[in-house]
Structure 1
Amino acid sequence: MAAPSSLGADAVMRVEGLTLGFGSKIIQHDLSFDVKRGSIFAVMGGSGCGKSTVLKSMIGLLRPKAGQYDVQGESYWDASAERRTEIGHRFGVLFQSGALWSSMTVGENVALPMQMFTRLDDHTIRRMVTLKLALVGMLHAIDLYPSEISGGMRKRAGVARAIALDADILFFDEPSAGLDPITSARLDELILTLRDGLGATIVIVSHELPSLFAIADDGVFLDATTRTAIAHGAPRELRDHSDDPQIHAFMNRNAQQTDGNA
């Protein structure tokens, strides 16, 4: 097992001096931030700044070129492959599209992680699936296929699968993308419920300002030009107090669009 780091007692994850890229192309460099226990941490920035790339590295899909990534005081990338798998069982992931298997029912999609990574019998798994779907308001769709439900329902089903193994660290990639404002607001309420009810720590990648302002209490702002973080803090704090022109324009773009259409 990798040696523990000096991760603070209130932090679950630490990214320190991280450099990410593909081949010779650098996406982000010298990236550092802590994710506090029980927070909803937003990875923000304009298109092409590397938000989803950062998320991929944090869930173990992309090894960094340099730097350190610790999960609860343990170096993730210095750990053995077996240990990384064990750490990964603490993660629940909602991909942008929901990523449900189209040939499986909603219930079968939620059951899959339990079938793969536990020794629970079929009856117990069915009971657990029922509980997870009820938690996200999707029990009525347990025997439906993804093609038979709406986009918002597919996102909720994806959340149910993300919490199938009782993960205490959740990663959501653009959860509100493609949803209407009412459905998006309901998903925001669900995310807050998961944080408050389950005590989960949540990392969210999003450029949807209403959602960011409604749920995120901490975050990091990535810049595509300098390819590193240029600000840290809650989205509302950055909106109200940042003097950086780029951050101000990003955080106030909805108001600017409204003024322009008046």
Structure 2
Amino acid sequence: MAPQTPDTDSRETLMSLQDVTLAFGPKVIQKGISFDIKRGSIFAVMGGSGCGKSTVLKSMIGLLKPAAGHYLVDGEDYWTSDPAHRQTVSRRFGVLFQSAALWSSLTVGENVALPMQMLTKMDAATIRNQVELKLGLVGMLHAIDQYPSEVSGGMKKRAGLARAMALDPDILFFDEPSAGLDPITSARLDDLILNLRDGLGATIVIVSHELPSLFKIADDGIFLDAKTKTPIAHGAPSWLHDHCDEPQVHAFMHRERETESGRTD
């Protein structure tokens, strides 16, 4: 793996992957994955198409058991713990899927309410208050009674984010949150993510290949290589941009500059 960012972060480690291998049957997606995520950080899982970014996220939210290695949350192995403990830990997770994954037959407000209705004993009035609070945080309260088909792509992402926060999780996972958004809407979503991290103290894991977003919000990250099926660099995107000499990482981190200037660095 390429040199890492100097380890000056004194924050407590919240999650760790230790020599994890992810596979579908005999097909290995990534192997030798090891990294720590600090509490209150925004950690990016980076790499080109097909490298396994979303598979890493899927494993971290409890949908894919590693073929080997350990996944620790607050020092306890998620996958070797009993089902009741895994369920308790999973309740700390909020997930924003790439497509927002809203139920088309439910209003925006009903989509946000669904986790509370299914997983808590809150009464209807309390749930309604919480829905209004979560939608207010993402600037979507005005759309509480609209259906997903009646709002824009950016608004769908914000509604999905409100649903991800429905159970007040302290760990948020975002899969390509800026995918399909125009630059202005994407920048606003980045600001919202930063505000949520700062305001709620949440730890955020983000899968993305959008350089402007990565440079703006991520303070640490891992770079996955599709060819070797291993991580090849670890550090903040801005640090990797300036200091990593790994050819694939350099090409990935500098592609915006190359496109805009019409030349290579």
Partner of 2:3: none
**Structure 2: how far apart are the matches of 1:83 and 1:242?**
39
Number of the residue aligned with 1:13: 15
Distance in 2 separating the partners of 1:129 and 1:171 = 20
> Aligned partners of 1:60 and 1:150: how far apart in 2?
30
Match of 1:196 among 190, 195, 198: 198
**1:247 equivalent in structure 2:** 249
Deviations 1:126-181 (A, max 9, x none): 00000000000000000000000000000000000000000000000000000000
2:51 aligned with 1:39: no
Q: Quote the Cα distance in structure 1 between the aligned partners of 2:240 and 2:190.
A: 20
Partner of 1:122: 124
Cα deviation 1:171-218 (Å, max 9, x = unaligned):
000000000000000000000011000000000000000000000000
Task: Give 1:81 shift.
Answer: 1.7
Structure 1 CA distance for aligned equivalents of residues 98 and 148 of structure 2: 15
DSSP-derived class of the 1:219 partner = strand
Corresponding residue for 2:98? Answer: 96
Write the distance in 2 (CA, Å) between the matches of 1:149 and 1:259. Answer: 36
Write the distance in 1 (CA, Å) between the matches of 2:45 and 2:63. 17
Indicate the residue corresponding to 2:172 in structure 1. Answer: 170
Q: Distance in 1 between matches of 2:41 and 2:230?
A: 22
Measured in 2, the distance between the counterparts of 1:72 and 1:160 equals: 25
How far off is 1:9 after superposition?
Answer: 6.8
SS at match of 1:33: strand
Structure 1: unaligned runs, 5 residues or longer: 1-7
- One-letter amino acid matched to 2:206: I
In structure 2, what residue type is equivalent to 1:185? Answer: A
CA distance in 2, matches of 1:101, 1:107: 11
Determine which of 48, 69, 73 is the counterpart of 2:50.
48
Q: Secondary structure at the match of 2:84?
A: helix
How many residues are paired up?
Answer: 255
Give the SS at the match of 2:262: helix
Q: Distance in 2 between matches of 1:80 and 1:103?
A: 35
- Matched letter for residue 240 of structure 1: D
TM-score, structure 2 normalization: 0.95
Q: Name the TM-score, length of structure 1 as normaliser.
A: 0.96
The AA in structure 1 aligned to 2:30 is: Q
Q: What's 2:27 paired with?
A: 25
**1:204-219 to 2 correspondence within 5 Å?**
204-219=206-221
Task: Give the corresponding residue for 1:64.
Answer: 66
In the alignment, which residue of structure 2 is the partner of 1:157? 159
Provide the residue aligned with 2:7 in structure 1.
none
2:226 is aligned to 224
Q: Could you tell me how far apart the structure 2 residues matched to 1:208 and 1:174 are?
A: 8
Which amino acid counterpart does residue 207 of structure 1 have in structure 2? H
**2 CA distance for matches of 1:184 and 1:89?**
28
Instruction: Indicate the residue corresponding to 1:136 in structure 2.
Output: 138
**What is the 5 A alignment of 1:71-86?**
71-86=73-88
- Confirm whether residue 181 of structure 1 aligns to residue 183 of structure 2: yes
Q: Secondary structure at the match of 1:119?
A: coil
Specify the code of the residue in structure 2 equivalent to 1:222.
L
- Per-residue deviation at 1:64? 0.5
Report the AA paired with residue 184 of structure 2: I
Deviation of the 1:96 alpha carbon: 0.1
1:100 Cα offset (Å): 0.4
Residue 80 of structure 1 and its aligned partner are, at CA, apart by 1.4
1:73 is displaced (CA, Å) by 1.0
